[in-house]
Every structure is written in structure tokens, then in C-alpha cells.
Amino acid sequence: MPDSPSLIPDRQIAEYVDRMTELIDLPIDPEHRPGIIANMTRIAQVAQLVNEFPLPEEIEAATIFTP
């Protein structure tokens, strides 16, 4: 996947990571923080691709998933 900018600035992702670790009482080592922020940035980029994918108006949501 090419690097595409996320709609969420890096500083907001970093703040989100900090707040969530506090909220769920999950301490992280300072050396792991940059990797967590990088992963959350990637997740935001993937979510942006999914959310921007055009769907035709006539598409209906499936009520039951059957593999």
C-alpha cells in the first residue's frame, strides 16, 4: 500500500494513543510508543481507504454473513 496521508494528523494520533493508554490503564514502555503511533497511523490510512471506497446506491447490507 502506498504511503498516503491520513486525515488525522500525527499529533492527534499520538494524543489518542496517550489518552487511551491512560483510559484503559495500559502502561507502555517509552521505546514502544513510536511504533504504536506508527501502527495507529497505518490503521487510520487503511480505514480512510475503506471509508472512501465508492459503493453504488442500490447496494444492500447483508443481514447475515455466510462464508
The string of DSSP codes covering 18-62 is HHHHHHTT----TTTHHHHHHHHHHHHHHHHHHHHS---TT----
Rounded average pLDDT over 17-34: 96
Strands of 1-67, DSSP E: none
- Residue 3's pLDDT is 53
Q: And the C-alpha cell for 55?
A: 459503493
Between 32 and 3, name the one with better pLDDT. Answer: 32
The percent of residues in the chain predicted with pLDDT above 90, rounded, is 57
Query: How far is the C-alpha of 33 from the C-alpha of 31, rounded, in Å?
Result: 6
Residue type, 14: A
Residue 7's nearest CA partner among 51, 37, 39, 63 is 51
Q: Is the pLDDT of residue 63 over 90?
A: no
